[in-house]
Structure 1
Amino acid sequence: MKIVFIAILAGIAVSITSCKNKGTTNGSAPQTETAGSSADASRLPVINFEEDTYDFGKIKEGEKVSYDFKFTNTGKSPLIISNASTSCGCTVPDYPHQPIAPGESGVIKVVFNSSGKNGQQHKAVTLTTNASPSTTEIFLVGEVQSATK
């Protein structure tokens, strides 16, 4: 009975110590740090924009505005942008779908269609990433003037 009990304890001990191994041992790629993991925050990617707001000034209703928001990953691990969303269909973002390595740069192109819009505009694009914080916003602002003016 003692031998069975000792064998069970030994098996549990081996299980516990093997679960503490980090990284991979089967040849697969190492895991990317994410903001939701318990990883050291200094190892996370950091998205750093040259400008987070673009003022397009005054435009006539119906015109389209396009702007490239340039950014750099100033963190220590690859930056992954998993989503870019807006509050209305008049603003469309295009973002890189591949990881951005530390020190590398990228562009998020945002197009605003002013058809049916009038007056002051403040359009936000919310980016979901593996950085901390996990969401970041960039903005297009300006004034749309009626086409009849």
Structure 2
Amino acid sequence: MKWILTGMLFCATLAVFLPACNNTVKVNQQPAADTSHYTTVQWLDSVVNFGSIKMGEQIEIRFRVRNSGHQPLYLTDVKAVCGCTVADYTRQAISPGDTGIVVGSFDSKKAHVGTVRKSILATTNSRNGYNHDLIFTGDIQE
């Protein structure tokens, strides 16, 4: 009798919890992007050497981008990789054939003396790559 009750309890437990196994949890699912509105991008300046500056100077580095496609180009996210640079960018749509700009404001007080290599990551709605690494280099003197 004890085995029958144990077996019935086990079956009842399975009946409650087994259907939950059929429900799969989908993590990090995002809707597919509408690639029909993607364009192509051409970076006119993707690597810039600012030369030599003195420690404590602040400079602006400009990266130009051209919409080489047939749909509006959007810079959807632009961020500096380190705390010594603040990034700004063209926020409105860039029409086909037109150019936009990404500006990096670099504060050498937050860097070190010597050769530096910094980057800004730009995300676009472009077929030829979504994430674009914009690099600037130079020397900081005492």
% identical equivalent positions: 30
Q: What is residue 70 of structure 2 aligned with on the other side?
A: 76
**TM-score, normalized by length of structure 1?**
0.67
Q: What is residue 45 of structure 1 aligned with on the other side?
A: 39
For the residue of structure 1 that corresponds to 2:49, the secondary structure is strand
Runs of 4 or more above 3 Å deviation:
35-39
1:98 aligns with 2:92: yes
Flag the structure with higher helix content.
2
Provide, for residues 108-133 of structure 1, a one-character-per-residue CA deviation record: whole Å limited to 9, x for no partner.
11111100422211110000111131
1:125 aligns with 2:120: yes
Structure-2 separation of matches of 1:116 and 1:89? 7
**TM-score, normalized by length of structure 2?**
0.70
Larger radius of gyration: 2
Letter matched to residue 37 of structure 1: D
Q: Is the 8 A contact 2:84 2:110 kept in 1?
A: no
Letter matched to residue 88 of structure 1: C
| 117, 139, 142: which one aligns with 1:143 | 139
Structure-1 separation of matches of 2:45 and 2:110? 27
Change (3 A) 1:127 1:38: closer
CA RMSD of aligned residues (A): 1.8
Shift of 1:47: 1.9
Shift of 1:38: 5.0
Is there any run of 5+ residues in structure 1 with no aligned partner, and where?
1-34
Structure-2 separation of matches of 1:88 and 1:51? 20
